[in-house]
Structure 1
Amino acid sequence: MVSSQPKYELIQEVGRGSYGVVYEALVKRTGARMAVKKIRCHSPENVELALREFWALSSIQSQHPNVIHLEECVLQRDDLAQRMSHGSSSPLYLELVETSLKGEITFDPCCAYYLWFVMDFCDGGDMNAYLLSRKPSRKTNTSFMLQLGSALAFLHRNQIIHRDLKPDNILISQGRTFAGTPEPTLKVADFGLSKVCSTSGLNPEEPASVNKCFLSTACGTDFYMAPEVWEGHYTAKADIFALGIIIWAMVERITFVDVETQKELLGSYVQQGEEIVPLGEALLENPKMELLIPARMKSMNAGMKQLIREMLSFNPQERPDAFELELRLVRIACRELDWDT
């Protein structure tokens, strides 16, 4: 269906990057608040990132409370808007797919093409902003690690490798319990670098398994990338490494300052003289390097220490998969948590 009548009213800009602009919006008919991401399809790179996000989110057949939900994706050309579906045969959509595959613009460059992603609106900012603006809380840490473990298991069960897990890409929806106390819900977002695995990567006839789907494109954010990603030969176990970085940094409030943005970010690293080096890069140089967990003079549950060490193993085979990880996080949370945060 093609329409020239706007369905959403943009209220204000809430985020901006090289990839697109995110707005808070209202559904005109119901008044519901949504997040709308606008992506200009003016380069093959932008088209590829947008389509990756669309393919990943539209491939999920059910919703998960800790994964951002795609309400709809709208393709706009000039003043006309068309809702996109997975596997669409729309000529406009096929032009974008061809652009992504060929790595060059294959449609009329004089036309203005945009993709609009309508998703959950998260009013609590990202994980960095949320945690670093509050005092450390063991209860929050426990809740967040359980939510992250559940989200990653869900994604891997749906054959999706995220490839860019980091606190900036984890959004917070602020809610409250019946008693009125804050109850934040995490939403894993930003699937522009994600990969949907359709086969095992070894045998095209074997059912998809993210732990057997080997990828070769080195992508992600340096401080959260696993050693094997730097080498360009990895599986979904790279997501486990990234989550290990996030959980360790969250528990001990380990931060660094991003050189480009000067923002304080949660993330674990190795100190080499006056420089800080991404943990994955340091392990690639020295696979036998022993990680100091905990990094600070604080107590930490023995099970938590061991789990973080395994998640950050140089050898991906020594890391738990997302399903084992989810179970172990639940077991740790069910015990008396005697690690300080």
Structure 2
Amino acid sequence: MEELYTLEREVGRGSYGVVFEGHMAKTGQRVAIKRLPCISPECIELYLQELWAMRATAKNHPNVIALHGCLLQTGSRTLVPLRSGRLPLALVESTLKGSVVGYGSWTEQENRVKSDTPRCRTGKNRTNLSGLFRSTTKSRLRAKSESDVFNHESQGITNSGQSRYESKERTHSEISKTLMRTNSGFSRPRKRPASECQEEVNGVLRRCSALWLVMEFCDGGDLNQYLLSRPPDSQRNKSVVQQLSSAIAFLHSLRIVHRDLKPDNVLVSMAPGGPHVKVADFGLSKMCVEGGQGSGGDDSLTRQHFSSTCGSDFYMAPEVWGGLSYTAQADIFSLGVMFWAVLERITFLEEGSTEEQLGAYVCKGRWLMPLGEALWENPDLLVSVPIKARRAPPLPPPPGQAVCALLLDMLASDPDARPTAAQLERRVYVAMEEDAAL
């Protein structure tokens, strides 16, 4: 069989999987290929959420990462394209039963590694695609075999916060042809001889040990790396804010709530007309039930409630910090933190890290407190936009009065006081035009 994709190199490791740079064998187009191991029902549920959300967005918005296809790894040397509109039923069954079904020795091998991994507390919760913009090699690498156990960080998300598991990479043998294509691409799986049908029971794949997501390639890194590696530029910052507001309005119109918006989960694609930012990493996203409890549109979306504490500390809304039920308006708060940080270049260093992050916060003596946590403790806290204690130059000029008013609305402690995503998209453009006219 012919190879559909070639793997060039590993470019990132994160919370759930490994990301490779690759190429489409037929066209040479660069792609990002993400391998997600199916080692626990909790991980599988997040993978299916990510797959479902990315399929819903398809390639319909320039500021949302595009999914080209999905393949199921059903053996050490076998990958099968997943049909459009279908979910792998064995994985769905695993999430419903609460135990991984039908994966045999491969899963047992990876579960042994998982049981040896230590727990550590963190507020980062990232899937890091940071290496996507540093490609130099053109050599073709073969994918690792199913027995390759990578540095997997599996997160457990509870109402008290987040945890991650880490394990050391162990490399064994290689496989020669993993990313295969059929005569009709992703439209239907290949016909297999009877000797291979042992991996199917009544047409259902039973031994999927990993999902491979093939996505568009972003060569500008994540938003932190892109902006902080360049001198401040007001026009660039405004463009980023406008593009992100458009992306979230699009996602919310499809009833997708991201629940983990932060600069790490925004990738940048370089283009002749300027950079395109792309919202990515939908592992914690939720698709709301059509219709909801109210009327259509954003109004009903704000009535869909969630209870799982999801997100990253410096971007979580007050109601999420407090363990309350929350709505899509939590995304608006996260955007407000990002917008404020982007427009004024506000950064922080997370404990134990030397890498600057974009994000707004409250100073408590020598300690930095996430803005959402501070507002949960004191809903009447006066948020000062623009920030008064400014960092060392060079810095962009502070946002104008109309933009400041919008940011304060986005960062309101009361979720109902924040604009909806559709309202936000309109107000961003109006506020920037008003400030430009002054």
TM norm. shorter chain > 0.5 = yes
1:277 equivalent in structure 2: 369
CA distance in 1, matches of 2:59, 2:229: 33
Aligned partners of 2:259 and 2:331 also within 8 Å: yes
2:189 is the alignment partner of 1:191: no
Cα separation, partners in 2 of 1:168 and 1:333, compared to 1, 3 Å:
same
CA distance in 2, matches of 1:216, 1:26: 40
Residue pairs, 1:244-283, within 5 angstroms: 244-283=336-375
Q: CA deviation at 1:336?
A: 4.7
Identity over aligned residues, as a percent? Answer: 46
Gaps (5+ residues) in structure 2? 107-145, 147-208, 391-396
Residue pairs, 1:150-229, within 5 angstroms: 150-177=246-273, 183-202=274-293, 209-229=300-320
One-letter amino acid of the structure 1 residue matched with residue 307 of structure 2 = S
1:44 equivalent in structure 2: 41
Residue pairs, 1:1-341, within 5 angstroms: 5-60=2-57, 63-78=60-75, 79-85=77-83, 88=86, 93-111=88-106, 112=146, 113-177=209-273, 183-202=274-293, 209-230=300-321, 231-296=323-388, 299-337=398-436
Aligned partners of 2:258 and 2:286 also within 8 Å: yes
Higher relative contact order (CA 8 A, sep 6+): 2
CA distance in 2, matches of 1:314, 1:102: 38
CA distance in 1, matches of 2:74, 2:288: 30
Aligned partners of 2:59 and 2:66 also within 8 Å: no
Q: CA deviation at 1:58?
A: 1.0
Q: CA deviation at 1:198?
A: 1.6
1:180 equivalent in structure 2: none
Q: CA deviation at 1:338?
A: 8.2
Secondary structure of the equivalent of 2:362?
strand
Q: CA deviation at 1:240?
A: 0.3
Cα separation, partners in 2 of 1:327 and 1:151, compared to 1, 3 Å:
same
One-letter amino acid of the structure 1 residue matched with residue 93 of structure 2 = E
Aligned partners of 1:199 and 1:213 also within 8 Å: no
Q: Deviations over 1:60-83 (max 9, x none)?
A: 355100000111111111122222
Cα separation, partners in 2 of 1:62 and 1:210, compared to 1, 3 Å:
farther
Secondary structure of the equivalent of 1:244?
helix
Aligned partners of 1:213 and 1:235 also within 8 Å: yes
How many pairs does the alignment contain?
326
CA distance in 1, matches of 2:96, 2:364: 41
CA distance in 2, matches of 1:299, 1:275: 24
CA distance in 1, matches of 2:327, 2:83: 28
Aligned partners of 2:59 and 2:67 also within 8 Å: no
Aligned partners of 2:58 and 2:66 also within 8 Å: no
Q: Deviations over 1:14-70 (max 9, x none)?
A: 211131111111000111111111111112222122111001111235510000011
CA distance in 1, matches of 2:411, 2:84: 35
CA distance in 2, matches of 1:21, 1:81: 17
Q: Deviations over 1:155-212 (max 9, x none)?
A: 00000000000000000001113xxxxx100000000000001245537xx6573212
Secondary structure of the equivalent of 1:110?
helix
Q: CA deviation at 1:314?
A: 0.3
One-letter amino acid of the structure 1 residue matched with residue 61 of structure 2 = H
Q: CA deviation at 1:261?
A: 3.9
Aligned partners of 1:284 and 1:314 also within 8 Å: yes
Secondary structure of the equivalent of 1:155?
helix
Q: Deviations over 1:101-130 (max 9, x none)?
A: 333212224145110111110000000000
Greater gyration radius: 2
CA distance in 2, matches of 1:331, 1:293: 18
TM-score, normalisation: structure 1: 0.90
Aligned partners of 2:343 and 2:398 also within 8 Å: no
Stretch deviating more after TM superposition (142-151 or 326-335): 326-335
Gaps (5+ residues) in structure 1? 178-182
CA distance in 1, matches of 2:58, 2:266: 21
One-letter amino acid of the structure 2 residue matched with residue 195 of structure 1 = K
Measured on the aligned residues, the alpha-carbon RMSD in Å equals 1.9
2:200 equivalent in structure 1: none
Q: CA deviation at 1:86?
A: 5.8
Aligned partners of 2:224 and 2:357 also within 8 Å: yes
TM-score, normalisation: structure 2: 0.71
Q: CA deviation at 1:7?
A: 1.1
